[in-house]
Amino acid sequence: MGISPWQLLIILAIVLVLFGAKRLRNVGSDMGAAIKGFRTAMKDEEQDNIEKKEQEQSRIIEGEASKEKTKS
């Protein structure tokens, strides 16, 4: 017993009457902008993590080289 297409059309009609087409369009564009911003933030965070790992690896290599020089 799922929702039939007729029930969905009735719900959509009620929502259109309550909010109006312009407001629904604005809500849709706002949701799209929010999703786009979220994806951009996730990509930036992933890039930052990659850069931090590269920096840590370079520090470890430099640290090992400087320890070997002081031992000699």
> Residue 64: which pLDDT band, with cuts at 50, 70 and 90?
low
Q: What is the pLDDT of residues 23-32, one digit of tens each?
A: 888 888 999 9
Q: How far apart are CA 52 and CA 72, in angstroms?
A: 31
What was the pLDDT predicted at 8? 92
Take residue 18 and report the two structure tokens written for it: 């309550």
User: Is the predicted pLDDT of residue 39 greater than 90, yes or no?
Assistant: yes
Q: What is the domain partition of the chain in residue ranges? A: 21-71
Give the global pTM: 0.49
Average pLDDT on 29-58 reads 89
Please name the amino acid found at residue 65: A
Say if residue 24 is exposed, middle or buried (CB neighbours under 10 Å; 0-12, 13-18, 19+): middle
Q: How far apart are CA 60 and CA 68, in angstroms?
A: 12
Return all residues near 19 (Cβ < 8 A) that are at least 6 apart: 27
